[in-house]
Structure 1
Amino acid sequence: MTSRLTPDICIIGGGSGGLSVAAAAAAFGVEVVLVEKGRMGGDCLNYGCVPSKAMIAAGKHAHAMAEAPRFGVSAGEVKVNFGKVHDHIHGVIAAIAPNDSVERFRAMGVTVLEAEAKFVNRTTVMAGDTEIRARRYVVATGSSPFVPPIPGLDSVDYLTNETLFERTRAPKHLIIIGGGPIGMEMAQAHRRLGAEVTVLEGARALGKDDPELAAIVLDAIRAEGVALLEGCQVTSVEKRGKTGIRVSYEGKAGAGVVDGTDLLVAGGRLANVEGLGLDEAGVAHDRRGIKVGANLRSSNSRVYAIGDVAGGLQFTHVAGYHAGLVVQQILFRLPAKENRDIIPWVTYTDPELAHVGLSEEEAARRHGGRISILRWPYAENDRAQTERRTTGLIKLVVDRKARILGVSIAGAGAGEMINMWALAVANSMTLKDVRGYVPPYPTMAEIGKRAAISYYSPLTRKPSVRWIVRLLRRFG
């Protein structure tokens, strides 16, 4: 028999964004139904951020052992047990999973339905044999790997991020299609764990980041032995022998082939909109996701969309940010709008690549070219020298009033350093604010203070300023 629920909020999707809305609403005593057809925790916990960073950590340890002689330490030959790397990855997932579990959310008072959800009209969702009529709906179904229509791809056993971390055997030669953050992170991690790696990118690797800083990261990855072919369009994939894979491509220098043992497809992601009954609900959408306004509301006023499915920046922390905006509107009737200019992101390669705010190009366009660019290299930082992590720099973009518009960092610890700059951008802080704080010595974060102070260096050479200094000296 069909049961009926009439909650205040129905959330479709138990990933980061959906769980954040459910937890916040339940904390205020609001009746919430959460519908999830797959694993609680979504892509981030099970197939994305958590397992990938766990694998990167394993690769870092292997690389640190190989680098040890530079510090006068002999660690012996590096040996990688890929089966135990797999166990490490899934041990991390298991440690975090209870925070996202069905049991925990039911204990909070959330009604969790483990079923597939589908709108049947503008006001009703069916989840299994349960009919839901909620005051508001939040769609948080995330995204899935995009598999390009490459001839022959369906004839081989290719990997995506959803299957990569199930492997207990190291690939001998991993071919990666896609040189974005996922592709480059996994390329370096697998190379450090002993695999030969080739990356094929149709345009420019790490193309969404500042080219100057991306080049620093890509040069470092190439130096570790990853073969990176940019501007190459994959034309076909085929089996080679019993276990091999051949990828054919066309590039600027002509056609070529790469022979490997394993293939990872990392060519982007598609919003999960299929099967939700969005047309029946009157929710406008396309292949990029649900169409929403700055307030994350869809064409159906009852329905909000957050995270990857909202068609914008695809990061776990964006889903959390969206959750807060939606809770503010649904529970407190307070207006809220997404501001993508304050969203930071990090690519967890080594060196790391982090960014927040406007890029140099965006800032120049919005401010008519009236901007200043400030840089400071890691090589001029004492802590970086002690750690032998001197590759990289920080780049600040400021307007005529010294307001911080954007910051990019390529180098060790960039992902941690960007936190302070994200705060600065979100609060429209200026270089004067940065000049006034004292960083502890020796820390790599000092590069930010040095870059900020460099903005004032031209003042030391101005005749008028020097005249004032001489004048003031006369008063004792």
Structure 2
Amino acid sequence: MDRIRTDLCVIGAGSGGLSVAAGAVQMGARVVLIEAGEMGGDCLNAGCVPSKALLAAASAAQAQRRGFRGVPGVDPAVDFAAVKDHVAAVIAAIAPHDSQERFEGLGCRVIRARAHFTGPQEVEAGGIRVSARRFVVATGSRPLVPPIPGLEAVPYLTNETLFALRERPAHLLVIGGGPIGLEMAQAHRRLGCAVTVVEAAAALGREDPEMAAVVLAALRAEGVEIREGVGVASVAGRAGEVVLRLADGLEVRGSHLLVAVGRRVAVDGLGLEAAGVEFDARGVKVDARLRSVTNRRVFAVGDAARGLQFTHVAGYHAGVVVRQAVLGLPARTRSDHIPRATYTEPELAQVGLTEAEARAAHGARLTVVRAGFDGNDRAVAGARGHGLVKLMVVRGRPVGVSIAGPAAGELIGFWALALAARLKLSAVAGTVLPYPTLAEVSKRAASAYFSPKLFDNPVLKAVVRVVQRVLP
């Protein structure tokens, strides 16, 4: 059996693993990268990239359907198979950046096989034993399939199989009203499918209810049926004829079924027990440095690190690990500045605390400020004046921001910087932005925090009157 000694062994070539490997090898470390599946992981092949490509096609179809004042809408002719060709082309265009060839060109040794630990400092993959000074578990996650009676006997889709479907579903049933379920529900509705979403709790239940309501109202207006507060008791049927029997006794029928109820961390079969690495169903148990609490040579990033399951979090984790494992510098994670976004139309984005979380944490010290897109000139000019920005402010600093409206995923970056740098709200209010832009809605919200202090302050008004009398 061949043996390799290296500085860093990265298990998993998704977003987090690739970022660790690229950063480490370009800084001079010896790196072995192990991947059993497709390079690029879930994000490239079955997640962020294909879903946004599908959403873009769906948005183009909806733009034709919607039209504009003076520009009559038309019923779009949707070639569903060609749309999937677009999705595949987008993946293919991005794939070279994540490819084995690129990483071998950078200097990594890439092993395309399943890895498992054989000891605290060694893994085996493809008949090769790799011993390393440090290991990074970056194995990501897989779709969670709930134990619903009858589901295993009925054909169903997950995000791993959905994008290969070339025939347009007549009626897509979606179990799960989270971001993935609702993004795909809206996309398929806009591409000509009937769509029904079933959610046992509240749709977008993790989000601020006021903001979620903006999104849900828009989807329902487009014809997406969303059933909340009722679970699926059982599933029956066959290909082309699926029946969901709900907990309230009703039945929902459709041609295709998408299961989108969450993700499960992919750490099974890694042999973490042999490495002395403590883990559970949520992933590797790590400290704030992302280092295993039971084996200091092993780090975990992304979904495998028991935290927020986002591609950008995996990239953030990669930087924290590289600083420690490659440069020997101290580094710790924080989560208060991590944004998230749901890419429906309108979009929904959040960074920091929601209103409910902020009230629980700060009580009477909290001030909540709102600014609607209906007061933003760029949004009104583009007939996109629905939605709002909500700021949670404590002693002049934002502790959370919620946005529901056009380009919310882009606009939240402004606030992610503010929270990451712990800026005061006065810095945001004092920023000069180009006019007219959607970004001005954020400045308007920040300015609204100061308005009562400036315009409803009798002491200030008295001072102004004195100043006006004495000014030459």
Which of 252, 256, 273 is 1:258 aligned to? 252
- Is residue 243 from structure 1 mapped to residue 240 from structure 2 by the alignment? yes
- Is residue 195 from structure 1 mapped to residue 193 from structure 2 by the alignment? yes
- Is residue 295 from structure 1 mapped to residue 294 from structure 2 by the alignment? no
Structure 2 unaligned regions, length at least 5 = none
- Is residue 367 from structure 1 mapped to residue 362 from structure 2 by the alignment? yes
- Is residue 7 from structure 1 mapped to residue 1 from structure 2 by the alignment? no
Following superposition of structure 1 onto structure 2, how do residues 156-171 of structure 1 map, counting pairs within 5 Å? 156-171=154-169
Which of 227, 230, 242 is 1:229 aligned to? 227
Partner Cα distance (1:318, 1:71) in 2:
41
Aligned residue type for 2:448: S
**Which has the larger displacement, 357-366 or 297-306?**
357-366
Task: Give the TM-score taking structure 1 as reference length.
Answer: 0.97
The match for 2:151 is 153
The match for 1:139 is 137
Q: Kindly provide the CA deviation profile for residues 389-437 of structure 1, in whole angstroms up to 9, marking residues without a partner as x.
A: 111000011102x111111100001111111110000011111101111
Q: Secondary structure at the match of 1:328?
A: helix
The match for 1:317 is 312
TM-superposed CA distance for 1:255, in Å, is 1.8
Task: Give the TM-score taking structure 2 as reference length.
Answer: 0.98
The match for 1:439 is 433
Give aligned pairs, total: 469
Q: Kindly provide the CA deviation profile for residues 50-75 of structure 1, in whole angstroms up to 9, marking residues without a partner as x.
A: 0000000000000000111x321245
- Is residue 26 from structure 1 mapped to residue 25 from structure 2 by the alignment? yes
The match for 1:397 is 392
Q: Kindly provide the CA deviation profile for residues 81-134 of structure 1, in whole angstroms up to 9, marking residues without a partner as x.
A: 001001000000000000000000000000000011000111110011100110
TM-superposed CA distance for 1:440, in Å, is 1.1
- Is residue 343 from structure 1 mapped to residue 341 from structure 2 by the alignment? no
Q: Kindly provide the CA deviation profile for residues 8-63 of structure 1, in whole angstroms up to 9, marking residues without a partner as x.
A: 00000000000000100111111000000000000000000000000000000000
The match for 1:36 is 35
**Which has the larger displacement, 305-314 or 362-371?**
362-371
Q: Secondary structure at the match of 1:451?
A: helix
The match for 1:84 is 82
Which of 95, 103, 106 is 2:104 aligned to? 106
Partner Cα distance (1:194, 1:184) in 2:
15
- Is residue 415 from structure 1 mapped to residue 414 from structure 2 by the alignment? no
Q: Using the aligned pairs only, state the percent identity.
A: 55
TM-superposed CA distance for 1:157, in Å, is 0.9
Which of 146, 164, 174 is 2:172 aligned to? 174
TM-superposed CA distance for 1:452, in Å, is 0.9
- Is residue 473 from structure 1 mapped to residue 471 from structure 2 by the alignment? no
The match for 1:273 is 267
Q: Kindly provide the CA deviation profile for residues 163-216 of structure 1, in whole angstroms up to 9, marking residues without a partner as x.
A: 000011100000000000000000000000000000000101111111110110
The match for 1:121 is 119
What CA RMSD, in Å, does the superposition of the two structures yield over aligned residues? 1.0
Partner Cα distance (2:308, 2:18) in 1:
19
**Which has the larger displacement, 289-298 or 357-366?**
357-366
**Which has the larger displacement, 38-47 or 385-394?**
385-394
Which of 207, 210, 213 is 1:209 aligned to? 207
Aligned residue type for 1:320: G
Q: Secondary structure at the match of 2:96?
A: helix
- Is residue 448 from structure 1 mapped to residue 442 from structure 2 by the alignment? yes
Aligned residue type for 2:365: R
Partner Cα distance (1:31, 1:95) in 2:
28
Partner Cα distance (2:267, 2:120) in 1:
16
The match for 1:427 is 421
Q: Secondary structure at the match of 2:363?
A: coil
Aligned residue type for 2:22: A
Q: Kindly provide the CA deviation profile for residues 240-295 of structure 1, in whole angstroms up to 9, marking residues without a partner as x.
A: 6x630000011xxx321100000000010000011000111111111111111111
Aligned residue type for 2:15: S
TM-superposed CA distance for 1:5, in Å, is 0.6
Aligned residue type for 2:333: E
Q: Secondary structure at the match of 2:24?
A: helix
TM-superposed CA distance for 1:367, in Å, is 2.1
- Is residue 330 from structure 1 mapped to residue 329 from structure 2 by the alignment? no
Q: Secondary structure at the match of 1:320?
A: helix
Partner Cα distance (1:259, 1:75) in 2:
31
Partner Cα distance (2:57, 2:318) in 1:
32
Answer yes or no: is the 8 Å Cα contact 1:17–1:323 preserved in 2.
Answer: yes
Answer yes or no: is the 8 Å Cα contact 1:363–1:369 preserved in 2.
Answer: no
Q: Kindly provide the CA deviation profile for residues 360-406 of structure 1, in whole angstroms up to 9, marking residues without a partner as x.
A: 22222222331110100011111111111111000011102x11111
Partner Cα distance (1:154, 1:394) in 2:
43
TM-superposed CA distance for 1:153, in Å, is 0.5
Q: Secondary structure at the match of 2:287?
A: coil
TM-superposed CA distance for 1:154, in Å, is 1.0
Answer yes or no: is the 8 Å Cα contact 2:66–2:74 preserved in 1.
Answer: no
The match for 1:45 is 44
Partner Cα distance (1:349, 1:36) in 2:
32
Q: Secondary structure at the match of 1:207?
A: coil
Partner Cα distance (1:80, 1:113) in 2:
41
Which of 381, 384, 391 is 1:386 aligned to? 381
